[in-house]
């Protein structure tokens, strides 16, 4: 491994550690590192998992790359009945005008699980056509119609356009809410850090300034009294 490649790999691991601590997705890490290094996101992702696999078997390599607590997650396979039920729920949602993405988002609020569902749905559509067509038959028997992923829905063009716009609006609102939630969480973290910093500074002043020390004691006693009341 060249020095430049080694440094890029260490940066990737460091960013992944940071993302894990902050609860961010690895996908964003791969995008960020790809942008910084001029590589493809998929290439960065493959290297990341390659590093973790090697680190699991080689303690010296693990130490050199500063892998820490990072580890590959065990792939949870779908049971046949579970996969069939999942695809049926998504297709029912699509039958009633929802996009596949929206149908999946209503099944789970977890991004990782949503991606897992999406991949399984696509895999079933691509490789299990006979089984999917059986599911479509069940949906049509129950509801009188069914969304056909192999042909798309048919019907009034205006209605289809409206459905598409509604689904697009839903996706934009969801994304906006996610970003706003992330912004608020960051603000809370910053405020907590600033509060801690100010407390530490006041504590230092209290050691040399009697008036500050009296203020602290008075505040503590008042707060304690309120708590007891």
pLDDT tens digits, one per residue of 118-145: 888 988 998 889 999 999 999 999 999 9
Residue 147 lies in a domain: yes
Across 186-199, average pLDDT? 83
Pseudo-torsion of CA 86, 88, 93, 97, nearest 10°?
Answer: 140
204 exposure class (CB count in 10 Å sphere: 0-12, 13-18, 19+): exposed
Going by pLDDT thresholds of 50, 70 and 90, the confidence category of residue 155 is very low
In a domain, 56, yes or no: yes
Tell whether the model's pLDDT for residue 156 goes beyond 90: no
Domain finish residue from 110, 137, 154: 154
Other Cβ atoms within 10 Å of 27 Cβ, number: 14
Q: Give 34-76 pLDDT, tens digit per residue.
A: 888 888 888 888 888 888 888 888 888 878 777 777 766 655 5
Range of the domain at 34: 3-64
Q: What is the pLDDT of residue 144?
A: 92
Same domain, 84 and 150: yes
Domain contains 10: yes
Among candidate residues 16, 31, 64, the one where a domain is terminated: 64
Kindly report the average pLDDT of the chain as a whole number.
79
Tally the domains of the chain. 2
pTM above 0.95, yes or no: no
- The rounded distance, in Å, linking the Cα atoms of 50 and 67 is 12
């Amino acid at each position: 491994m060249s020095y430049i490649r080694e440094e890029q790999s260490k940066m990737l691991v460091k960013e992944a550690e940071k993302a894990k601590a902050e609860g961010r997705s690895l996908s964003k890490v791969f995008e960020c590192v790809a942008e910084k290094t001029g590589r493809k996101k998929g290439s960065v992702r493959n290297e990341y998992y390659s590093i973790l696999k090697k680190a699991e078997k080689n303690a010296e390599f693990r130490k050199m790359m500063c892998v820490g607590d990072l580890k590959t997650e065990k792939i949870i396979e779908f049971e046949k009945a579970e996969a069939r039920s999942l695809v049926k729920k998504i297709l029912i949602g699509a039958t009633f005008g929802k996009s596949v993405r929206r149908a999946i988002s209503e099944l789970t609020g977890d991004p990782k699980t949503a991606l897992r569902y999406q991949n399984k749905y696509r895999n079933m559509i691509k490789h299990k056509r006979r089984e999917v067509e059986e599911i479509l038959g069940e949906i049509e028997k129950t509801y009188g119609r069914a969304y056909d992923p192999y042909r798309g829905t048919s019907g009034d063009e205006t209605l289809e356009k409206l459905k598409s716009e509604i689904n697009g609006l839903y996706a934009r609102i969801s994304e906006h809410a996610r970003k706003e939630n992330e912004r608020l969480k960051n603000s809370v973290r910053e405020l907590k850090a600033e509060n801690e910093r100010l407390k530490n500074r006041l504590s230092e002043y209290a050691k040399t300034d009697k008036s500050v020390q009296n203020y602290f004691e008075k505040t503590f006693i008042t707060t304690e009294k309120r708590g007891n009341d």
